[in-house]
A and B are shown apart, each in its own frame.
Chain A
């Protein structure tokens, strides 16, 4: 278990707003509040799952964290150092420590480059090793992710989806990073392949003491791999706790709805399925107060006016953004 005091990444009130531009002079007519005030502490060596419906800002959050985007507001501390304003030179050095694995390896691997060129790129950019050393490392990386050394001479399209994702993983671990954002890294793969790739990710984590931010839109996959799970809704993290507690005692009505939607293997345990009313509101114009209130079964007047704090429940390692958290457990277990 990761040491709960060894924080590798702290996000404080992070916001990422994309301007919506219109017209001849690109006037800014609004903001997409893709990430709208997220605070999290992530421990060294753990896997934090990030779940939520498509469009709720998971990818944006992941990309902000590794500074592929410049956040609009808020701070990011990596190993205790504020990197939210880091300049290009500082960022270049940081790139070695933070990597990303994408959903679709068709898109994230340049089809014009051979596997050798793809895997050599990180070494070239950071100017490590001689050409001979790199050749050896590339072959070691390939066998580490379960591909034959002969793969080096081939091109991405010659591989299956799972193998291609392994190439993406090999590239991400080439520089021995500390933190990897897995942005739906297995979502595009067949179920049988998914578990193989998940196993590979877990082995690598043990071996290299990696920290993962594991993004997925469905809970089941995330539960397999995550120590803790953060649930996102409309640019905000609404609940954050251990994956066991998310399943056993979800506090936020949104999390409860997500859990109830998972098909249960054991019919004895089957709970009433909570159907969410309406659509996800637009992040350009989020609802007042608690962004979830238009779809919430328990919404009160207070929820419409006042935005809930992201607060710790008692002394537990459990954070929720809901005015009525704690009261609602009873309600949901009764039904």
Chain B
């Protein structure tokens, strides 16, 4: 039995009524769904191949060697070539390619890179001949997964430490507070550069390093919220019933601090995307050839004559960050405690 609390319902209604945030939310949801299914729309692999009466769907799964389709090689089939081959030989075999038949790491030297936007490459190619639209879409997938992973880790650390120090106070609070102050003074970029000098952190490791440098804000919000909530009477009431610390924290205090956590979430995600982009830009981000926005940006700045590189990535980044910010604003409005009731 799943039932929304009335206040939650009202908040969602309010969020819905704030058009800017709501449309940004729809737009971003579509973008997310699109990146999840990106292989179907943007891919060097064919959607469907019919050859000698057999159908195959190469989009997902292991690569199919060229020999299977009567091409003379054992590595993965080049479907664009296969399509041309079938057309030339006039056989009944068919290849259906995705809307944009370019993978993010596929290089096209048929036009000298970087190539201008054209019917073949809608946003042109980068200096290595890779389709920019494809790299943008797959780069978005990397960025957003990175941001979500990082935000998840940030919240785990921040909420735990903030809650501990707000609930227990005394020396735990003292230690956490000092830790927080020290951490805020550490220069993030220098530390990352030093770490990457002798250890290549990979995708998850990088998210973790970023999280370790961004939990402080949430920790102090959570500390203040916990401190306030724990002295409220409903907590005393639970204590008088015999509730233990675990129950008080997880059933009473945390749910009551949720609205703050939720309304800061979009801004954190936007921060995560920017963080990865700037690290990539400086060359300390995800390992190549993983598609990344920061790498595109760096290329674009180096080749201002190929304006479409920087133009595409800057536009994409702006649109995404603005829509996330709109969502954040909408949520903040909808969750504004002053709007609903004093006691929430």
Instruction: Give how many B residues have a beta carbon under 8 Å from the other chain's beta carbons.
Output: 24
A171 contacts chain B at the CB level, 8 A cutoff: yes
- Check A107/B241 contact, CB under 8 A, given A68-B236, A112-B5, A112-B255: no
Q: Are A125 and B242 within 8 A (Cβ)? A: yes
Q: Which residues of A contact B6 (CB under 8 A)?
A: 155, 157-158
**Contact between B240 and A121, CB atoms less than 8 A apart:** no
Judging by beta carbons under 8 Å apart, are A99 and B240 in contact?
yes
A157 in contact with B341 given A110-B234, A112-B255 (CB within 8 Å) = yes
A92 lies within 8 A of chain B by Cβ: yes
Of B5, B238, B242, the contact of A155 (CB 8 Å cutoff): B5
Interfacial residues of chain A within 100-118, with CB under 8 A of chain B in the complex: 100, 102, 104, 106-112, 114
The residue on A at minimum CB distance from B229 is: A110
Contact, CB under 8 Å: A111 / B241 = no
Bound-state CA distance A109–B237 (Å) is 8
In the complex, chain B residues whose CB is within 8 Å of the CB of A66: 240
* Docked complex Cα distance between A106 and B233 (Å): 9
- The distance in angstroms between the C-alpha atoms of A63 and B235, with both chains bound, is 14
Q: Which chain B residues numbered 321 to 344 have a C-beta less than 8 Å away from chain A? A: 341-344
- Selected from B3, B236, B242, B256, the residue in CB contact (under 8 A) with A112 is B256
Answer yes or no: B19 CB below 8 A from chain A CBs.
Answer: no
Report if A95 contacts B (CB, 8 A).
yes
**A286: interface (CB < 8 Å):** no
1/0 per position for B230-269, CB-CB distance to A under 8 A? 0011101111111110010000100110000000000000
Chain A, residues 181-216, CB within 8 Å of chain B (1/0): the string is 000000000000000000000000000000000000
Q: How far is the CA of A158 from the CA of B10 in the complex (A)?
A: 13
Give bound CA distance, A5 to B81, whole Å.
102
Write the nearest CB–CB distance from A57 to chain B, whole angstroms. 17
The answer to whether the Cβ of A305 comes within 8 Å of any Cβ in the partner chain is: no
Q: Does A96 contact B (CB under 8 A)?
A: yes
Cβ < 8 Å to B, chain A residues 67-107:
68, 91-92, 95-96, 98-100, 102, 104, 106-107
- Report the separation of the CA atoms of residues A171 and B232 in the bound assembly, to the nearest whole angstrom: 17
The 8 A CB mask of B257-294 against A (1 = contact, 0 = none) is 00000000000000000000000000000000000000
For residue A101, give the distance in angstroms from its CB to the closest CB of chain B.
Answer: 9
Is B7 within 8 A of A111, CB to CB? yes
A126 close to chain B: CB less than 8 A? yes
Partner of A126, one of B5, B232, B242, B343: B242
Cα–Cα distance between A107 and B236 once the two chains are bound (Å): 10
How many angstroms from the CA of A168 to the CA of B241 in the assembled complex? 12
Q: Does A55 contact B (CB under 8 A)?
A: no
Q: Establish whether residues B233 and A104, one from each chain, have CB atoms under 8 Å apart when the complex forms.
A: yes
Complex CA–CA separation, A98 to B239 (angstroms): 12
A108–B236 CA distance with the chains assembled, in angstroms: 8
Asked whether, in the complex, the Cβ of A102 is within 8 Å of the Cβ of B5, the reply is no
CB-CB under 8 A from B241, the residues of chain A are 95, 99, 121-122, 125, 171, 175
Choose one: A126, A153, A158, A171; the contact of B237 (CB below 8 Å): A171
Which A residues touch B236, using CB under 8 A?
A: 63, 68, 100, 102, 108
- Least distance between A166 CB and chain B CB atoms (Å): 15
Assembled-state Cα–Cα distance A114/B241 (Å): 17
Please give the residue numbers on chain A whose beta carbons come within 8 Å of chain B beta carbons, in ascending order.
63, 66, 68, 91-92, 95-96, 98-100, 102, 104, 106-112, 114, 121-122, 125-126, 153, 155, 157-158, 168, 171, 175
* A–B pairs, 10, beta carbons within 8 Å: A68-B240, A95-B240, A99-B241, A100-B237, A102-B236, A102-B237, A108-B234, A122-B242, A125-B242, A157-B343
14 further contact pairs, Cβ within 8 A, besides A99-B241, A108-B237: A63-B236, A92-B242, A100-B237, A102-B233, A104-B233, A107-B234, A110-B256, A112-B255, A112-B256, A114-B5, A121-B238, A126-B242, A157-B7, A157-B343
